[in-house]
Chains A and B, each alone.
Chain A
């Protein structure tokens, strides 16, 4: 088992994101998320634990596409947690915001209180086409109708990897593909990094230390809400905004 001073976190380098949606597909298949149809999107009931938001910037022909992957920020001061009447969502000792499916009674207060729109409600019993029922991940609960779900940082992978590391007497390594969430593994451009923010040798801790300093690119999503997320974003840097010294503004 992971030690109690673990603080799982993610660093997302928006500069590298090409908006390929690989992370989205990986997440959907890893976590038994039902297929989102056009209907569901129109009803605003699509379930995507991670999504890639696209923004257009500028006028044609100088138009630029901006991508930003958004997932549960696993806030340390999460707005979703205090509003749950049954403690179905809470902060665990590994720095993760956790949803306990069998406690949830479906009030949806947490989704209303989340500024990032990363909590999703199962309005219907999830269904898969006949051809896909055999690809469900047995390590992940299929969430039934009437309960909330959200990104778990692929906790089933963390649990399995830490268990197997303990069994074989090995150290957990944040380089291991088995530990990393599905989205991190799927990313072709290494946009996403995952690891223990409390371990000074981990990739994410180094990036966080370097980039959250005054001249770094790091920022939190919507800092005005004071949620202190465990997900750090790194700013996009355009060639055109670089000054003559080669550094950005």
Chain B
């Protein structure tokens, strides 16, 4: 046989097929791993879960509390339940007893209200899952923010939406802003609020 003559390709051996199969499978698995990691990295970068595949859906709460029923249908102000928001640091979630001031008579035959009444009779506070959390080392106080924006946005309840989104229409409460330091500082600059470190960090 002369050099350069045509040679029919050799039939691949069983071992080679297995090797290529394993390599291909490994590649697919690797790609999936990379995509999953990239999703987490991008979410962390944005400070929010990606707005896809329902990843940004809020957590399940011990009682599926429907904000729309209370806010849109009944027209309650945010400050009706979150009473401390115009006074102090935390907006506060009302105690079960406060819910019971209506629900002792309202909402018979509803399973979620039944859960609430069980919490009330057993004297156990509801272990709500926290949705909004500012980063560590931040002393965030609601009151001055509400005070600053109240006039502009028509009262305390209009102000909440700036950071929390339209909670009144959310069936499951979810976070809509990253609430990271860049987010805070941008807003402070726009509103000529102090940007000294010790405004929040001490």
Residue positions of A touching B, CB distance < 8 A? 1, 90, 92-94, 96, 98, 100-103, 139-141, 152, 155-156, 159, 163, 166-167
Contacts and interface: CB of A to CB of B under 8 A. Distances in A.
A188 B198 CA distance: 30
A159 B147 contact: no
A163 B137 contact: no
Contacts of B24: none
Contacts of B143: 163, 167
A141 B202 contact: yes
B137 A155 contact: no
Given A141-B137, A163-B143, 10 more contacts: A1-B194, A90-B197, A100-B198, A103-B197, A139-B139, A155-B198, A156-B139, A159-B199, A159-B202, A167-B147
A206 to B, nearest CB: 26
A163 B141 contact: yes
Nearest to B136: A102
Contacts of A98: 196-198
Contacts, number: 48
Contact of B202 (A1, A103, A140): A140
User: Which of A103, A152, A159, A166 is the most central at the interface, judged by chain B CB atoms within 10 Å of its CB?
Assistant: A159
Interface of B: 87, 136-137, 139, 141, 143-144, 147, 193-194, 196-199, 201-202
B196 A93 contact: yes
A102 B202 contact: no
B188 to A, nearest CB: 11
A101 to B, nearest CB: 6
A102 B139 CA distance: 13
A141 to B, nearest CB: 6
